[in-house]
Amino acid sequence: MERTITITIDGAKLRVPEGTSVLEAAIRYGICIPHLCHMHGISDIGACRLCVVEHVKNGRSRVTASCTLEARDGMDIRANSPRIRHIRRNIAELLVAEAPNSRAIQDIAVRCGVKNVRYPFRNSNCVLCGKCVRICAEHLHANAIGFAGRGRNRKVVFPFGTRPEFCRLCGMCITHCPMTIPPCDGPMRPGQERLCGKCESQLQINEKFDIVGMCTWCDLGKGFQCGRYAGAR
């Protein structure tokens, strides 16, 4: 029989099977932790850092990504404290300033409470979430794409720059890419990038009742491929 453990997230006690990540546990119980690089059923790398939570242990709290944090019995997690929301907001701001030309990124920015962007916009095509690389390697066992380069030269490429034979053109990489769907108003041309923010109404349901941490099946989650939609399917 499957062993279960109990963890506490924002005061709520959750019973989950052993080996579940904190993020998966939260998603399962409808506690909203925004995330980008997490995919249901695929290994987590902790790259986007949107899912950061406070892990309180012996009276000291440590900020860590919840997707790579395995739930252990008796864990105390704060997923929506002011400190965490502030960090999340800043990370979302970095993301939307880097790659505003995506509905997913714009939705994340709204969900994380970005009201204005303090950096000059860029128009990158890739946020290096690594979903494509992992789905190709773990789900399709093709390993047709991977990361190359370091730091700001990091990019997703075919080996040696050409499409290998073992790429089956299945298109899963494109399906899961958060950058393929443009913002609702259409693609932003260079120089016209902005924070969209039209979906703020989605947020109000939440904030009116001061239940920021609860999933309301908002449309924002559809935008950034929230794990809860994937789990429900």
CB atoms within 10 A of CB 228: 19
User: In a 3-state reduction of DSSP, which class is residue 28?
Assistant: helix
52-57, strands of its sheet edge to edge: 12-17, 4-9, 76-78, 52-57, 60-65
Q: What's the token pair of residue 103?
A: 């509905």
Interface with other proteins (CB under 8 A): 45-50, 52, 63-65, 68-70, 86-87, 90-91, 94-95, 97-98, 118-120, 127-128, 147, 149-154
Least gap, CB of 215 to other proteins (angstroms): 23
Which is nearer to other proteins, 49 or 131 (by Cβ)? Answer: 49
For residue 5, the cross-strand partners are 16
Which is nearer to other proteins, 66 or 202 (by Cβ)? Answer: 66
For residue 17, give the H/E element and its range. strand 12-17
Least gap, CB of 17 to other proteins (angstroms): 18
Calculate helix-pair angle for 82-98, 103-111, nearest 10 degrees.
160
Least gap, CB of 115 to other proteins (angstroms): 14
Least gap, CB of 217 to other proteins (angstroms): 26
Q: What's the token pair of residue 205?
A: 């349901």
Least gap, CB of 154 to other proteins (angstroms): 3
Least gap, CB of 198 to other proteins (angstroms): 24
Which is nearer to other proteins, 18 or 214 (by Cβ)? Answer: 18
Buried b or exposed e, range 22-61, using 16+ CB within 10 angstroms: bbbbbbbbebbbbbbbbbeebebbbbbbbbbbbbeeeeeb
Which is nearer to other proteins, 61 or 216 (by Cβ)? Answer: 61
Q: How far is CA 33 from the centre of its chain?
A: 8
Which is nearer to other proteins, 58 or 165 (by Cβ)? Answer: 58
Which is nearer to other proteins, 143 or 232 (by Cβ)? Answer: 143
